[in-house]
């Protein structure tokens, strides 16, 4: 399991990925203007082969300015994380199905 800690800090979203208390990757997304999730998505594509779900956590940001915008950003990021976790489950199911098919074909004489 990869832990993902999200913290809104001034005009940035700081994201920390860690495993077993060891930090793996830090990503900073600027939130003052248009929000670009490319670096986050690129990293998720990089780690998808590890087949580990994400455990997501947010620091409280109710005291920040622009709470409505931050809620929208949080909602978008949650969708990204949910799709990532769903793809891990789907990929695992596909791999099991492929393995079962190979076992059935092992009895063939050719």
> With bands split at pLDDT 50, 70 and 90, how would you rate the model's confidence at 61?
confident
pLDDT for 102 equals: 53
Whether 79 is in a domain gets the answer yes
Residue 22 included in any domain? yes
Q: What is the mean pLDDT of the chain?
A: 85
- Is residue 4 exposed (0-12), middle (13-18) or buried (19+ Cβ within 10 Å)? buried
For 10-97, list the strands marked E by DSSP. Answer: 12-19, 22-30, 54-58
Give pLDDT tens digits for 21-48.
Answer: 899 999 999 998 899 999 999 999 999 8
Q: Is residue 110 part of a domain?
A: no
Asked if residues 65 and 11 have their Cβ atoms less than 8 Å apart, the reply is no
Whole-model pTM: value is 0.77
* Domain count across the chain: 1
**Residue 40 forms part of a structural domain:** yes
- pLDDT greater than 60 at residue 56: yes
Q: Are 16 and 26 in contact (CB under 8 A)?
A: yes
Asked, for residue 6, whether it belongs to a domain, the answer is yes
Domain hosting residue 69, numbered range:
2-105
Q: Which of 56, 13, 59, 16 lies closest to 36 in space, CA to CA?
A: 13
């Amino acid at each position: 399991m990869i832990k993902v800690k999200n913290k809104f800090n001034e005009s940035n979203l700081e994201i920390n990925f860690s495993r077993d208390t060891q930090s793996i990757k830090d990503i900073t997304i600027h939130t003052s203007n248009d929000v670009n999730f490319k670096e986050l998505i690129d990293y998720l594509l990089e780690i998808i082969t590890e087949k580990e779900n994400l455990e997501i956590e947010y620091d409280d940001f109710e005291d920040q300015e622009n709470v409505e915008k931050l809620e929208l950003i949080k909602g978008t990021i949650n969708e990204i994380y949910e799709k990532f976790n769903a793809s891990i489950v789907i990929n695992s199911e596909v791999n099991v199905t492929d393995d079962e098919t190979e076992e059935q074909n092992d009895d063939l004489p050719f």
